[in-house]
């Protein structure tokens, strides 16, 4: 990647406004676009969906499939540099773009994150330096490898190597028969069987790394999942035991270095008890982009994960982010529009907007909605960041918000 910075608000050699591009038009792309525009860039989004959250607000929206040659050519023609907002962007498309424009993260890094088999192999390779290993696991891609799965991986979770997210493409299995059945049900695609670990908690770390190798980390956040989907993130001192938090940050930076990663990277960790009964870390997976668990940075830090993405892409300086407020992020799923205050409405009823007036009356509440026009149960519609001067207050406000929304208490 070129180390010459792309300065916002200037014009390119061809007289175009400096434009940054993103493959994918989901909410992460939308928040990248918002951060880029705030700094004075023009933006271009490639996504076939005419109503994609990022496409709706971008200067340019190229509505073609991700591997469409003409669409990719248009994106390259418009943009000085291109990033991605979801890991299932076809890696060959990023190779095409990368031949002509700076692309961050690179096709190689995205390809690793797209495939649990490659990803786990990288984590194993990094373990001597990162100090953290993945869960015990084995690859299942043939009848022979299925038969060779060691007994001590059961009970386990069978996960498809590709295209899984929010707990999709995963089956929990306790017996060899159930494992064989689950593999058949998943279409006998390449999978990883992972030992089911007794999780004490989960956390993740966001880092940003520039093309010059400079890297910074954001504070560690503790994550609560419900039904395989992130429900809540807590980011304040003590949310994760400090010794583990420090190890998680060091591990994530080591993984970014090993990948020669450019851009924003999120690595997820499990907190488990080791054989000595001490809390320990296990590395779960990574996302080659900003992550839902890093949304708190928008309102609690002096640099958001999306601005960090813009800066790494444009080759701008990357100062160490400072968290100025304890924060809790609550994910807003479409269910809230059908169960206002926790009361399920009739199927036939129109979706009802949650009581934002009451929520926003509480100090330190920051509403982010993604511009999705039709709420559906399980669909990520937005998130709410809560900030406060201290931990007690942020937790107290979060409890009030959760009660107003009819969500489980903190
Ligand atoms: P994401 O939405 O983060 O991409 P995903 O569908 O890719 O999710 P994972 O992160 O692998 O899936 O798993 C989803 C959740 O399932 C984890 O956050 C964790 O709560 C649980 N889980 C996954 N693997 C294990 C394991 N080996 N032991 C115990 N729980 C697990
Ligand atoms: Mg995950």
CB-CB neighbours of 25 under 10 Å: 28
Domain borders along the chain are 19-103, 136-195, 199-405
Q: What is the CATH number of domain 199-405?
A: 3.30.470.20
Nearest to 316 by CA among 255, 263, 261: 263
Q: Distance between CA atoms of 26 and 46, rounded to whole angstroms?
A: 10
Q: What is the Å distance from ligand 1's center to 169 Cα? A: 11
- Tell me: pLDDT of 111 over 70: yes
Dihedral of the alpha carbons of 356, 358, 361, 367, in degrees to the nearest 10: -20
Q: What is the Å distance from ligand 2's center to 260 Cα? A: 22
Please identify, by atom number, the ligand 1 atom nearest to the C-alpha of residue 166: 2
Whole-number average pLDDT of the chain:
95
Q: Distance between CA atoms of 262 and 396, rounded to whole angstroms?
A: 38
By most ligand atoms within 8 Å of CB, the mutation choice from 270, 286, 331 for ligand 1 is 270
- Tell me: pLDDT of 38 over 80: yes
CA 408 to chain centre: 23
- Tell me: pLDDT of 3 over 70: no
pLDDT confidence of 349, banded at 50, 70, 90?
Answer: confident
Mean pLDDT value across residues 266-294: 96
CA distances from 8 to 11, 13, 42 (A): 8, 14, 8
Nearest to 383 by CA among 342, 343, 328: 328
pTM: 0.95
What is the end-to-end Cα distance of the chain in Å, rounded?
A: 44
Side-chain-facing half-sphere of 213: CA atoms under 13 Å: 3
Q: What is the CATH number of domain 19-103?
A: 3.40.50.20
Q: What is the pLDDT of residue 14?
A: 85
Q: What is the pLDDT of residue 265?
A: 98
Q: Whose CA is nearest to atom 17 of ligand 1?
A: 228
Please identify, by atom number, the ligand 1 atom nearest to the C-alpha of residue 230: 2
pLDDT confidence of 394, banded at 50, 70, 90?
Answer: very high
Q: Distance between CA atoms of 36 and 310, rounded to whole angstroms?
A: 6
Tokens of 40: 């004075």
196: left (phi over 0), alpha (psi -120 to 50) or beta: beta
Q: What is the Å distance from ligand 2's center to 109 Cα? A: 17
Q: What is the Å distance from ligand 2's center to 230 Cα? A: 8
pLDDT confidence of 388, banded at 50, 70, 90?
Answer: very high
List the single range of 119-128, 227-236, 349-358 with lowest mean pLDDT. Answer: 349-358
CA distances from 365 to 75, 161, 334, 404 (A): 36, 38, 19, 13
Q: What is the Å distance from ligand 1's center to 269 Cα? A: 10
Closest ligand to residue 120's CA: 1
Helices 116-130 and 107-114, packing angle to 10 deg: 100
- Tell me: pLDDT of 273 over 80: yes
pLDDT confidence of 163, banded at 50, 70, 90?
Answer: confident
CB-CB neighbours of 333 under 10 Å: 24
Q: Report the range out of 42-56, 158-172, 346-360 with the highest average pLDDT.
A: 42-56
Locate all alpha helices (DSSP H) within 4-115, ordered by sequence.
27-39, 69-78, 91-98, 107-114
Closest ligand to residue 199's CA: 1
Q: Is 192 in the pocket of ligand 1 (CB under 6 A)?
A: no
Q: Is 87 in the pocket of ligand 1 (CB under 6 A)?
A: no
Give tens-digit pLDDT for 313-336. 999 999 999 999 999 999 999 999
Q: What is the pLDDT of residue 347?
A: 60
Q: What is the Å distance from ligand 1's center to 117 Cα? A: 15
Q: What is the pLDDT of residue 87?
A: 78
Please identify, by atom number, the ligand 1 atom nearest to the C-alpha of residue 137: 27
CA distances from 163 to 63, 90, 114, 205, 288 (A): 22, 11, 7, 22, 14
Q: Is 196 in the pocket of ligand 1 (CB under 6 A)?
A: yes
Q: Distance between CA atoms of 221 and 171, rounded to whole angstroms?
A: 26
Q: Is 162 in the pocket of ligand 1 (CB under 6 A)?
A: no
Dihedral of the alpha carbons of 140, 197, 205, 387, in degrees to the nearest 10: 130
pLDDT confidence of 88, banded at 50, 70, 90?
Answer: confident
The reply to whether 19-103 and 136-195 are identical in fold is no
- Tell me: pLDDT of 103 over 70: yes
pLDDT confidence of 342, banded at 50, 70, 90?
Answer: low
Q: What is the pLDDT of residue 281?
A: 98
Q: What is the pLDDT of residue 350?
A: 81
Neighbours of ion ligand 2 (CB under 5 A): 268
- Tell me: pLDDT of 166 over 80: no
Q: Distance between CA atoms of 62 and 45, rounded to whole angstroms?
A: 6
**CATH of the domain spanning 136-195, picked from 2.60.120.260, 3.30.1490.20, 3.40.50.2300, 3.30.413.10:** 3.30.1490.20
Q: Distance between CA atoms of 224 and 202, rounded to whole angstroms?
A: 7
Q: Is 115 in the pocket of ligand 1 (CB under 6 A)?
A: no
Q: What is the Å distance from ligand 2's center to 165 Cα? A: 7
Q: Distance between CA atoms of 359 and 373, rounded to whole angstroms?
A: 21
Mean pLDDT value across residues 252-272: 98
pLDDT confidence of 183, banded at 50, 70, 90?
Answer: very high
Nearest to 118 by CA among 313, 288, 292: 288
Q: Is 160 in the pocket of ligand 1 (CB under 6 A)?
A: no
Q: What is the Å distance from ligand 2's center to 62 Cα? A: 29
Give tens-digit pLDDT for 118-157. 999 999 999 999 999 999 999 999 999 999 999 999 999 9
Q: Is 85 in the pocket of ligand 1 (CB under 6 A)?
A: no
By most ligand atoms within 8 Å of CB, the mutation choice from 159, 228, 231, 272 for ligand 1 is 228
Tokens of 223: 């994550």
pLDDT confidence of 228, banded at 50, 70, 90?
Answer: confident
Q: Is 387 in the pocket of ligand 1 (CB under 6 A)?
A: no
């Amino acid at each position: 990647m070129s180390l010459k910075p792309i300065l916002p608000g200037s014009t390119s050699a061809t007289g175009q406004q400096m434009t940054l591009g993103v493959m994918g038009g989901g909410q992460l792309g939308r928040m990248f676009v918002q951060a880029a525009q705030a700094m004075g860039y023009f933006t271009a989004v490639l996504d076939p969906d005419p109503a994609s959250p990022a496409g709706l607000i971008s200067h340019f929206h190229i509505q073609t499939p991700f591997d469409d040659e003409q669409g990719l050519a248009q994106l390259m023609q418009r943009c000085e540099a291109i990033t991605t907002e979801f890991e299932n962007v076809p890696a060959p498309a990023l190779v095409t773009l990368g031949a002509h424009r700076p692309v961050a993260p690179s096709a190689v890094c995205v390809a690793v994150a797209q495939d649990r088999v490659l990803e786990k192999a990288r984590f194993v390779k990094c373990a001597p330096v990162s100090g953290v290993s993945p869960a015990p696991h084995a690859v299942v891609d043939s009848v022979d490898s299925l038969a060779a799965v060691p007994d001590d991986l059961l009970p386990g979770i069978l996960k498809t190597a590709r295209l899984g997210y929010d707990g999709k493409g995963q089956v929990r299995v306790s017996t060899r028969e159930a494992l064989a059945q689950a593999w058949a049900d998943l279409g006998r695609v390449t999978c990883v069987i992972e030992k089911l670990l007794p999780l004490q908690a989960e956390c993740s770390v966001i880092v940003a790394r520039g093309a010059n190798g400079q890297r910074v980390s954001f504070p560690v956040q503790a994550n609560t999942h419900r039904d395989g989907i992130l429900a809540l993130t807590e980011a304040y001192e003590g949310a994760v035991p400090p010794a583990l938090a420090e190890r998680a940050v060091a591990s994530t930076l080591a993984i970014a270095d090993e990948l020669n990663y450019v851009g924003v990277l999120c690595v997820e960790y499990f907190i488990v008890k080791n054989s000595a009964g001490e809390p320990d870390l296990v590395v779960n997976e990574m996302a080659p982009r900003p992550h839902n668990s890093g949304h708190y940075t928008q309102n609690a830090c002096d640099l958001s994960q999306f601005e960090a993405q813009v800066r790494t892409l444009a080759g701008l300086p990357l100062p160490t982010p400072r968290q100025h407020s304890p924060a809790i992020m609550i994910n807003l799923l479409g269910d809230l529009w059908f169960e206002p205050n926790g009361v399920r409405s009739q199927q036939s009823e129109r979706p009802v907007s949650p009581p934002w007036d009451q929520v926003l009356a509480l100090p330190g509440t920051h509403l982010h909605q993604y511009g999705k026009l039709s709420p559906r149960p399980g669909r990520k519609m937005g998130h709410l960041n809560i900030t406060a001067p201290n931990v007690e207050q942020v937790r107290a406000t979060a409890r009030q918000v959760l009660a107003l929304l009819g969500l489980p208490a903190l």
